[in-house]
Amino acid sequence: MSGFSAGWLALREPADQAARNPELLASLEAIFSGRKSLSIVDLGCGTGSNLRACAARLAPFQRWTLVDHDPALLAAARETLSRWADSGKPSGEELRLRRDGKQIAVRFRQADLATELAPILDGSPDLVTAAALFDLVSPVWLEKFAAEVSRHQAVLYTALTYDGTERWTPVHAADQDVIAAFHAHQSTDKGFGPAAGPRATAILEAAFRAVGYEVRSGPSPWRLGPESSALIRELAEGGARAARETGLIPEASIRAWLEARREAAACEIGHLDLLARPAR
Ligand SMILES: C[S@@+](CC[C@H](N)C(=O)[O-])C[C@H]1O[C@@H](n2cnc3c(N)ncnc32)[C@H](O)[C@@H]1O
């Protein structure tokens, strides 16, 4: 349904966790320090990687709503989180987990963010968060999102938004062409209108400043070497698939690039994280 498999999300999770910008994570922790409980909405949750990355930084009692349009990913999230927790049990619609001294209640909500954002935020969460989502959405949606989050005066923390930079080692003659085609593919419609792609963080930053928020962003690149060869291979496959779909590059060039890139020694993929809070 969404084009993101649980297998792909599991493959990227360790790289995502290692890449998150540590200063912004520390600032997120500081904003809510002293709070006993928090309500949090995670948009485009996949299998719950964002919860697993943030829970240790947040209050002793956490109520999470995990939102995705893909029911298979929501089912995988329920399973993955149950395995991740020190202990846990379902309670009605909720999953009640304990992990490292935190009590975490999780609800799962199947919804389309393109059309159902306002009702999703109706409960006025303290924190709205999302990982690896915003490059998929449109600039218009980002403006509406900022207005909606600010209506609730919620904090926004987002991680791992693709920023358009890629460095592959060793270099290949088709790198620039394939990356340009990948960027063209990035701005195609992913269900929200033409996507913001690598411009998403800049648009988000301006939109949140315009509604009176203090905003900080910071880099969270994947720096992948031989220990991440499976992820490098999947990135190469995904890049080639996207480039092929644009029709901008001869098939022979894509094939030659893919053959070399499957075995690339290293690559760096740029992301940005962002933290926005109502001005004090
Ligand atoms: C790149 S994945 C990131 C998943 C997760 N946040 C993570 O970091 O592993 C993007 C997620 O957004 C979800 N998504 C995409 N379009 C959506 C929409 N219109 N409504 C709700 N979820 C959507 C996908 O199903 C997928 O789980």
**Torsion angle of C-alpha atoms 86, 87, 88, 89, degrees rounded to 10:** 160
Residue 231 in domain: no
Q: Which atom of ligand 1 is nearest to the CA of 73?
A: 27
Q: Which structure tokens are listed for 253?
A: 């060039």
From the CA of 175, how far away is ligand 1's center (Å)?
Answer: 27
Give me the pLDDT at residue 221, please: 98
Which DSSP helix (H) or strand (E) runs through 96?
strand 94-99
Side chain identity, residue 212: G
Answer whether residue 187 is part of any domain.
no
Give the global pTM. Answer: 0.96
* pLDDT given at position 280: 86
Q: 63 is in which domain, residue-wise?
A: 6-165+193-223+268-278
In a domain, 64, yes or no: yes
Classify residue 181: in a domain, yes or no: no
User: How many distinct structural domains can be found in the chain?
Assistant: 1
Does the beta carbon of 141 lie inside 6 Å of ligand 1? no
In a domain, 135, yes or no: yes
* pLDDT value of position 1: 41
Q: How many A from CA of 174 to the centre of ligand 1?
A: 30
**Residue-level pLDDT at 222:** 98
CATH number of the domain enclosing 19:
3.40.50.150
Below-70 pLDDT ranges, the chain:
1-2
Query: Does residue 136 form part of some domain?
Result: yes
User: How remote is the CA of residue 97 from the centroid of ligand 1, in Å?
Assistant: 23
Note the pLDDT of residue 59: 98
55, part of any domain: yes
DSSP β-ladder status, 155-169 and 266-278 = antiparallel
* 229 within domain boundaries: no
- Return the residue whose CA atom lies nearest to atom 3 of ligand 1: 132
**Residue 154 Cβ < 6 Å to ligand 1:** no
Alpha-carbon gap, residue 120 to 54, rounded angstroms: 20
